[in-house]
Amino acid sequence: MEIPQFDICTPDFTAALKLARKRERISEIIRIESKDILKDTFGAFPLIISRFPKNRNLWSELKNNFGDIVANVRIGDYASPENYLAHRKFEKVPINKFMNSAECGATNYAGNQAFSETLLDKLNMGLPSIFNKDEFLAPAVWVGGRGCVTPLHKDGSPNFAMHFYGKKKWILFDILDVPELRMSRPLENSDFAVSKIDLRECNQTPRNKTNIQPIEVIVNAGEMLYLPANWGHFVTTLENTIMANYWRPTQKDKLQSPPPKPWDYL
Ligand SMILES: O=C(O)CCC(=O)C(=O)O
């Protein structure tokens, strides 16, 4: 199959919001199969692409065959927006120890891990061959048991999140809603921004506001979520999960040498 050249433009947040104001909203996320990907498939709206490879043994393969690699685990009340923005706490532990505790119900999270390309290949977690991996930044890997949470935030790059094992719930907010989400940007050079709203607490949910329309979606093993740049998202793991997210570089990223690593700032 010929590899489509994805021409996704990544304007900065202000320019992207201006463009988005000229279009309609969507009320649900469309699912397509990987065989139906076309050159212009990836654009302004999120999509779920199904029928990518999944590996029912990935959790045990990682734990048993590569268990001594060191994970940088999010600990404490990491899911609170305040901690996520400014007071993150981590602990370095062998990944098998972390995975054992996840199996026992711990909600510490090995989010945003740097795995070497060799390890990704051994685990068959590379970018599917339909994509040209030279067009993407190095991936980050997310390993967690049930109940891990990443607070509401947005990233400045389009995200291709491959769910290799287990499922997650994503609550998505159109870029059109972002101005209402009380976000602040911790880094001057990036459109990464974190909301002050704690979606774990119902009374703070912006759902009550009629002009905000979150879209909830479950992404399963073997599926990829394509999330355009600057869409808000709040993510919860529903069971043991392993995901790798591949980002396209922004124009600013392309000017940096070497290119930034996602785990430098997320
Ligand atoms: O899976 C998660 O917990 C968060 C992932 C995320 O925020 C991302 O891929 O941008």
pLDDT reading at 118 higher than 60: yes
**What is residue 21's predicted lDDT score, i.e. its pLDDT?**
95
pLDDT digits (tens, 9 = 90+) for 1-38: 444 555 555 678 998 999 999 999 999 999 999 989 88
**What is residue 130's predicted lDDT score, i.e. its pLDDT?**
86
Cis geometry, peptide bond prior to residue 258 (ω within 30 degrees of 0): yes
**What is residue 135's predicted lDDT score, i.e. its pLDDT?**
84
pLDDT reading at 162 higher than 90: yes
Residues contacting 58, CB < 8 A, separation 6+ = 123, 124, 125, 164, 165, 242
Determine the atom of ligand 1 nearest the C-alpha atom of 144.
3
Residue range 152-156: mean pLDDT, rounded: 94
Distance 235 CA to ligand 1 centre (A): 6
Query: Is the CB–ligand 1 distance for residue 235 below 6 Å?
Result: yes
Residue 258 pLDDT level (bands cut at 50, 70, 90): low
Residue pair 157/250 in contact by the 8 Å Cβ criterion = yes
**What is residue 207's predicted lDDT score, i.e. its pLDDT?**
54
Residue 261 pLDDT level (bands cut at 50, 70, 90): low
Query: Is the CB–ligand 1 distance for residue 260 below 6 Å?
Result: no
Determine the atom of ligand 1 nearest the C-alpha atom of 140.
9
Query: Is the CB–ligand 1 distance for residue 177 below 6 Å?
Result: no
pLDDT digits (tens, 9 = 90+) for 207-243: 555 678 899 999 999 999 999 999 999 999 999 999 9
Cα separation, 58 vs 17, whole angstroms: 39
Determine the atom of ligand 1 nearest the C-alpha atom of 149.
3
Q: Ligand 1: which of 88, 142, 157 to mutate, most ligand atoms within 8 Å of CB?
A: 142
Residue range 185-199: mean pLDDT, rounded: 89
**Please, what are the domains in the chain?**
17-34+48-249 (2.60.120.650)
Query: Is the CB–ligand 1 distance for residue 111 below 6 Å?
Result: yes
Distance 130 CA to ligand 1 centre (A): 22
Query: Is the CB–ligand 1 distance for residue 159 below 6 Å?
Result: yes
Q: Which amino acid is at 148?
A: C
Higher-confidence residue of 81 and 62: namely 62
